[in-house]
Structure 1
Amino acid sequence: MKVNAVFFDIAGTTVTDDGFVKVAFINAFKAFGIALKDEETDSVMGFKKIEAIKIIADEHGLSWNNQKLLEVHDRFTTEMKAVYASVALQPLPGVIETFKWLQQHGIAFGFNTGFTREITDVVLAKLGWNQDNYAKAVVCSDEVIAGRPAPYMIQKLMDKLGIANVATCIKVGDTEVDVMEGKNAGCGKVVSVTTGTYSRADLEQFKPDFIIDHMQELVAIIEQYN
């Protein structure tokens, strides 16, 4: 297997999260009279956010129609944009160095996310990744017919990057659905990072090909195949 492309998740994988997504979920539900426990949000991390909201609502026995789900999602979006506009977002350690190494070695990379384009654009602008030419290929969950664990965001990234063979691609993420997405798409390798929602012990249960604690460990993995 020769690695031709890497597909990264964003929050918790390449960008600091510090519980921002969790708090946004809790505040969005609170606005509609529902109190969530912290751990209730963990299992839906990585999902398309409106799908995550439906999963949580169903677990609470709430028969919310699509309009209500959209209202909660709108509140979640408002919460996320406000947080990301107010905090100093930072790439996680080793991320920029890894991006530069990939560029130097002619390996394409892109991003996919459970966020909508509206939220993602705030994140990318805050990080300056558009200007730095890191974010040439980005696919958001509202730009495909279904988010993770479906493979459609990866397939769209392949189209954007001109990659024909998914077996030459690596998926990198911090959640269970990142692993499932990579496997469902047929990626050659799936790499989990411990910088997000789950511990190493948790991630081992999802059976990725590799688990790393620091993004620059990805370089050594790629060098095994290239």
Structure 2
Amino acid sequence: MHYKQPSQLQAVVLDWAGTVVDFGSFAPTQIFVEAFAEFGVAVSLQEARGPMGMGKWDHIRTLCNEPQIADRYHAVFGRLPTDDDVTALYERFMPLQIEKIALHSALIPGALNTINGLRDKGLKIGSCSGYPAVVMEKVVELARKNGYVTDHVVATDEVPNGRPHPAQALANVIALGISDVAACVKVDDTWPGILEGRSAGMWTVALTCSGNALGLTYEEFKDLSLEELAEERARIIKMFEGSRPHYLIDTIVDLPAVIEDINARLARGETPQGS
């Protein structure tokens, strides 16, 4: 037997918030702010966005490790936040998240038509998220009501290690029956999600405008001047540099052209690991 490289893509593995739903990725970030506030610790929306893409416990731990946030916590409790404190914050975060997830459940404009077009080309649609399973259950239910159903979903607490580890992406490969990781593309709006795809050996596409990096509503995004948009794109592209995405696009609406280009590269013998 000889190894035969795939000649075209078989699956797209999509993130959720900021990629397919919740333009600007407000559902998770706003709840972090509220959860910390209930403990008397101020965290700005911008600070909350920093570790976006990680599992939520890890996200809170990372925030608590930030010197300025640790100092605020110390000022309130007289100690630096321990793992037990992180768990207490997480346990407050979870019911808030479930309670308010519907407020930011709208599909990103054009996402459903784009995904249906990918299905028409024979691509399977996998998905994963930094949300735990109890939140994903609600997210999936809301998306179904809006017409979006994936072929598979992997929550962050359904694998040994969440992002930036490759486990969630690889769980999709197994569940979808994909023959080669090089036949998959991971689409995400965060650097941990891009590292996840890279570590899994997939093609990767970073979204610059629909998610956490830009952090604007769709209306605010559309109201940006050409100069403002160019400045924001430049900032976000620099932010993604370390995770080395193969492609950067504004929103999922721009994905079909990327899929065509990847298929052309696969047909020429190129691989994601070699790019």
TM-score of the two chains, using structure 1 as the length reference: 0.91
SS in structure 2 of the partner of residue 29 of structure 1? helix
Instruction: Tell me the residue number matched to 2:15.
Output: 9
Q: CA-atom RMSD, angstroms? A: 1.9
Q: Determine whether 1:192 maps to 2:211.
A: no
* 1:156 equivalent in structure 2: 171
Report if aligned partners of 1:176, 1:203 keep a CA contact under 8 Å in 2. no
Distance in 2 (alpha carbons) for counterparts of 1:173 and 1:84:
19
Aligned AA (2:247): F
Which of 75, 93, 96 is residue 79 of structure 1 equivalent to?
Answer: 96
Separation of aligned partners in 2, 1:89 and 1:40? 22
- Which residue in the other structure is 1:36 paired with? 43
CA deviations on 1:109-137 (whole Å, 9 max, x unpaired) are: 111000001111111111216x9572230
What pairs up with 1:101-116 in 2 under 5 angstroms?
Answer: 101-116=117-132
Q: Is the 8 A contact 1:203 1:211 kept in 2?
A: no
Number of the residue aligned with 1:121: 137
Which secondary structure state, in structure 1, belongs to the residue aligned with residue 42 of structure 2? coil
In structure 1, distance between residues paired with 2:49 and 2:253: 25
How far off is 1:2 after superposition? 1.4
On the 8 A contact 1:110/1:136 being kept in 2, the answer is yes
Structure with greater proportional helix content: 2
> How far apart are residue 88 of structure 1 and its match?
6.3
Count how many residue pairs are aligned between Structure 1 and Structure 2. Answer: 223
Match of 1:23 in 2: 30
Shift of residue 50 of structure 1?
0.2
* 8 Å Cα contact 2:124-2:151 kept in structure 1: no
> Where does structure 2 lack aligned partners over 5 or more consecutive residues?
1-6, 74-79, 215-232, 265-275
Aligned residue in 2 for 1:210: 247
Q: Identity of aligned pairs, percent? A: 29
Cα deviation, 1:41-80, whole Å, max 9, x if unaligned, reads 1211111000010011122336434333222112111111
Name the residue aligned to 1:182.
197
Larger Rg: 2
Structure 1 unpaired stretches of 5+: none
TM-score for both structures, normalised by structure 2: 0.76
Q: What SS does the aligned partner of 2:65 have?
A: helix
Distance verdict in 2 for CA 1:121–1:17, change over 3 Å: farther
1:172·1:190 contact (CA, 8 Å) conserved in 2? yes
Distance apart, 1:17 and its partner CA = 4.5
SS in 1 for 2:204: strand
- SS of the residue aligned with 2:141? helix
